[in-house]
Amino acid sequence: MVPPNLKTMMAKTTSTSTKQTQATTISHVSYAAVKLVGNMC
């Protein structure tokens, strides 16, 4: 499950090549956070 605000943020950052790495990092961090919460529950 991906939050809609993350999708729009990814779409905005993907248009800028310099921020593409930042968007990838954000998605990885959010994915790790979701996995962490999933393991706690």
Report the 3 state secondary structure along 2-36: CCHHHHHHHHHHHHCHHHHHHHHHHHHHHHHHHHH
The whole-model pTM stands at: 0.40
Which sign does the torsion angle of CA 1, 26, 18, 12 carry?
A: positive
Under the banding of pLDDT at 50, 70 and 90, the label for residue 36 is confident
pLDDT at 37: 84
Question: Tell me: the pLDDT tens digits for 19-31?
Answer: 667 778 888 888 8
